[in-house]
Amino acid sequence: MTALSVSTSSAASLRAEALVIGVAKGPKGVVLAPGTEAVNEAFEGKLAEILGTLGATGAEGEAVKVPSPAGVKAGFVLAVGLGEAGDEGFEPEALRHAAGVAARTLAGVKKAALALPAESAAEVEAVALGGLLGSYAFGTYKGKGNGKEPVGELVVLAPRKGSKDAKAAVERAAAVGEEMNRARDLVNLAPNDLTPKSFAATVQAAAKEHGLKVEVLDEKALTKGGYGGLMGVGGGSVNPPRLVKVAYTHPKAESTLAFVGKGITYDSGGISLKPAGYNETMKCDMAGAAAVFAAVVAAKRLGLAVNVTGWLALAENMPSGSAVRPGDVLRIYGGKTVEVLNTDAEGRLVLADALVRAGEENPDVIVDVATLTGAMVMALGTRTFGVMSNNDELRADLHALAGEVGEESWPMPMPAHLRKGMTESTIADLANMGERMGGGLVAGLFLQEFVAEGTDWAHLDIAGPAYHEGAPFGYTPKGGTASGVRTLVAFAERTATGKA
């Protein structure tokens, strides 16, 4: 795992294998970002000219290496693009992306210094988090020597003034980034290694390490308790379902949040089998549960003055003689019945159980996170998650918070007329399918049916950004991304300060 530290040394004097500086796109070519003065002096004032000759433009995603001159202690200088140069500095997300590009480029390097333009604690945190996320690599199944090791240590250079704030910012980045990388690991694990039982065991181990309370309901307890959604969806698998509760409490907390995560450790579609080409990445269908788990642990590590309870609805959706069938009726925890019209609309069934159970503890707000619908991907693409809520102010707040921490989201409506299609079942309270058009909205409306009356609730459909199948970019790797974690942590932090 890449180590993070902070230093107030000058960029030119710090000993490291690599020194990372920022460059931007100017009106007449590449320009040096603030904080590079001493380095440029060592290059006799010609660093921008040299970089331009090598093809640098300052565009985001760009990385150009230059051997260091005598006045720079690092072995070489890596210039990373920050995008358009502006009069008001660079946005935190641009700093995160640049640090992520640098960390990916420097795989195999033991120590690198990040001398990106970071004057405030927020900017220092952005650089540190981007670097830590960019250094991520999943190597569980690869033999030694198959690929470079992640950069060993990243030293974030910060101004001497406010060094205590800078140190705290790096520590916060480490807490959030390491938990995001833990979530990425879970998403990337092969489904034969991550089952509901082993996922629950991972949570138990982390709970013991960090002093969290955990409770696991196995198939016997779920059957006895009447959790029809989890037992129905998990009934077709030899790996039975689990409902995991992991709780962080703070002695000075005045609010309680419940985070609910969809945890389908593998989704074949069940009897409504997915077509060829749609099964290969379905190990990622537990990304919502991974995000919730990571957020609870991060809240504990940050010591936030808010109570946070995570509910992980874990099941494997498989076709077999014991699998739930289209036409079956399930009784969800709490008593409502659901006619199953499509077994591939299984996430909403397991979430229904968890939402009702979470609501019994009377939290101030419930937020669920799920790779719920392909319809949301069709609507918003692969980098943006949808936000739905029974409270317009909560929806707007989560959308704004997501933007502040660098996650792309979009507020989605909950049209009342779409509810009708789900309530027309002739044999049950609800059907798990409604109108085909607006399927992502229908799924959200279904979930709302299981939220306790008077409880503020929001739904994050992360089906698009939870798993990245293309080439890495910025700090985003191929595979699991830990989408939603930063938004949940920011919401918990905002609640703890009384601003939510």
DSSP for 389-415, written as a single string:
ESSHHHHHHHHHHHHHHT--EEE----
* Cβ atoms of 230 and 294 closer than 8 Å: no
Q: With CA atoms as reference, report the closest residue to 456 among 495, 405, 404.
A: 495
- Which residue among the candidates 25, 184, 283, 348 is catalytic per the annotation? 348
Query: How far apart are the C-alpha atoms of 101 and 62, rounded to whole Å?
Result: 8
Q: Tell how many helices (H) and how many strands (E) occur in the chain.
A: 14, 20
CB atoms within 10 A of CB 276: 7
The residue type found at 414 is M
CA separation (Å) from 175 to 128, 230, 365? 11, 32, 24
Query: How far apart are the C-alpha atoms of 340 and 284, rounded to whole Å?
Result: 23
Q: With CA atoms as reference, report the closest residue to 33 among 105, 114, 129.
A: 114
Any idea what DSSP says for residue 104?
A: H
Q: Which two tokens stand for residue 382?
A: 């692969």
Q: Which two tokens stand for residue 476?
A: 């985003």
Residues 6+ apart with CB under 8 A from 208: none
- Which residue among the candidates 274, 325, 336, 383 is catalytic per the annotation? 274
Query: How far apart are the C-alpha atoms of 31 and 362, rounded to whole Å?
Result: 55
* Cβ atoms of 366 and 260 closer than 8 Å: yes
Catalytic: 274? Answer: yes
CA separation (Å) from 5 to 98, 334, 458? 18, 49, 36
Per residue, the 3-state secondary structure of 193-243, as one string, reads CCCHHHHHHHHHHHHHHHCCEEEEECHHHHHHHCCHHHHHHHCCCCCCCEE
DSSP for 52-82, written as a single string:
HHTT----TT-EEEEE--TT--SSEEEEEEE
Side-chain half-sphere CA neighbours of 127 within 13 A = 32
CA separation (Å) from 234 to 18, 197, 313, 388? 50, 12, 11, 27
Catalytic residues, by residue number, are 274, 348
